[in-house]
Amino acid sequence: MTPTQLRAYSAVVRLGSVKLAAAHLEVSEAAVSLHIGQLRKELGDQLFTRTASGLAFTPGGLRLASRAAELLGLQDITVLEVSAAGRGRRLLRVGASSLFAEQAAPGLIELFAGRAADLDVELSVRNPAAFASLLQSRAIDIAIGPAPKVPDPAISGRPVMNYRIVLVAGPDHPLAGTQPSARQLREQMWLLGPSAAADGSAIRMLLRRLSVPDEHQQIFQSHAAALEEAKRGRGVAAALNFTVAAEIRAGRLVQFSGPHTTLDDVWHAFTLADPGAPASAAELARFATTPRALQAMMRGAGVHVGRFRPSVHVTLWS
């Protein structure tokens, strides 16, 4: 088996067709079919067959799918580690939910990275629903964000930080100073950051709990941008309580009260449960729960530009 063959097979498994896999890999369908044929011959297994409803994988094909992801992930991380080791440095790749990445991660990453002169920490925004697959494929070393609905036995998780989502608006908002009902909140324009679009996020859960219609939700490029719009009286915004405390004290924002206006949740740190996880990932998971780390996350210090890899959020309207 070669890495090229495994990448072709993994693309077929992930995308569900040879045609889509070829387009994703930017090769011809014939090339993908050739790689699949070579794997079938070497392994003595058909791997999958085409049916009217799509591809049907054999038990051996399913087993190869999981192993292929592991092997390719190990290859990628080995290339990175060898390159970093050649420069005398270690690399820790952190994947985080958008809310944590924007509001809490910079202070944590800067403090943690400063403890070891030979450690580079890279932060990227990831979908929490993909945490398990990203860790298992070695695309990231540690993930921080909301806990999944269904735990994965291959992933080890530990709580990092309790936080509260509060609902705020500008001081001139019609509902400022009141205790709004669920119906009144549903009727408002909600000004939201990228995490509102991620399943499992606290803000998403708050929106669903109140049954806020899609047409009353505006998602901005950042949570900070959404808050700026709220200050101008253009709607209500959901925010972390410690990030808006100063603005509330200064009178630039007003926090709503009542049973429908807050939601408590917990960020968790996730690493691979097996011994293959980098030691620095487990170290960060432990460090994130210390008082110094919690203070750094709430203080919100900036992170060095070389340690942040933002993902692009695209919203389409029709």
Both tokens of residue 281?
């990932």
pLDDT given at position 185:
95
Cα gap 109→92, rounded to integer Å:
10
Residue 97, judged by CB atoms within 10 A of its CB (0-12, 13-18, 19+), counts as buried
- Give the largest Cα separation in the chain, rounded: 72
What does the radius of gyration of the chain's CA atoms come to, in whole angstroms? 23
Cα gap 157→148, rounded to integer Å:
10
Cα gap 165→153, rounded to integer Å:
29
- The answer to whether the CB of 296 falls within 8 A of the CB of 107 is yes
Q: What is the third-level CATH fold of 162-264?
A: D-Maltodextrin-Binding Protein; domain 2 (3.40.190)
pLDDT given at position 88:
65
User: What does the pLDDT profile of the chain (318 residues) look like in tens digits?
Assistant: 898 999 999 999 888 889 999 999 999 999 999 999 999 999 999 999 888 878 888 999 888 988 888 888 778 777 776 776 666 677 888 999 999 999 999 899 988 988 887 888 888 889 898 899 889 888 899 999 999 888 888 899 999 999 999 999 999 999 988 899 999 999 999 999 998 988 788 999 999 999 999 999 999 989 999 999 999 989 999 999 999 999 999 999 999 998 889 999 999 999 998 776 788 899 999 999 999 999 999 886 554 555 544 444 333 443
Q: Does domain 80-161+266-309 have CATH number 3.40.50.620?
A: no
- The answer to whether the CB of 219 falls within 8 A of the CB of 207 is no
Cα gap 111→95, rounded to integer Å:
17
pLDDT given at position 300:
60
Cα gap 315→197, rounded to integer Å:
9
Both tokens of residue 101?
């990445």
pLDDT given at position 85:
66
Topology agreement, domain 3-69 and domain 80-161+266-309: no
- The answer to whether the CB of 202 falls within 8 A of the CB of 209 is no
pLDDT given at position 187:
95
Residue 284, judged by CB atoms within 10 A of its CB (0-12, 13-18, 19+), counts as buried
Q: What is the third-level CATH fold of 3-69?
A: Arc Repressor Mutant, subunit A (1.10.10)
Please report the sign of the dihedral spanned by the C-alpha atoms of residue 146, residue 151, residue 157, residue 160. positive
pLDDT given at position 318:
37
Dihedral pair phi/psi, residue 251, rounded to 5°:
85, 5
pLDDT given at position 240:
94
pLDDT given at position 314:
38
Q: Give domain limits for the chain.
A: 3-69, 80-161+266-309, 162-264
Both tokens of residue 1?
């088996």
> How do 155-169 and 254-255 pair as beta strands?
antiparallel
pLDDT given at position 274:
76
